[in-house]
Amino acid sequence: LSIEQLLGINKFIVDEEAAHIVLNKEICAVCAGKPCTVACPAGLYTLKDGKISFDYAGCLECGTCRVICPQAGAINWQYPRGGFGINYRYG
């Protein structure tokens, strides 16, 4: 199976009331490298007209963006509330 097919097997229960990752778009705007746009394995960070577009639905909860972000305070990252988030199903 391809990576995309494996990711498609997972089940996501999206918390529509409380995002577990919130970006400070003002800080993101001054980030030169924007490494999240290439490091997120789920491809949730994309560039549109030079600005970061992000959707927390589909997050694998790997923490890569939290670790790799060079801008302090740009990413407010928490695990989803109980009962929400990813259920891995490829094992």
CB within 8 A of 73, min separation 6: which ones?
24, 27
CB of 17 to ligand SF4, least distance (A): 18
Q: Which amino acid is located at 41 in the chain? A: P
Task: CB nearer to ligand SF4: give 29 or 38.
Answer: 38
Element (H, E) at 75: strand 75-77
Q: What are 51's strand-pairing partners?
A: 48
Q: Does 33 bind ligand SF4 (CB under 6 A)?
A: no
Q: Determine which residue in the list 28, 65, 69, 74 makes contact with ligand SF4, applying CB under 6 A.
A: 65
Interface with ligand SF4 (CB under 6 A)? 21, 40-42, 44, 59-65
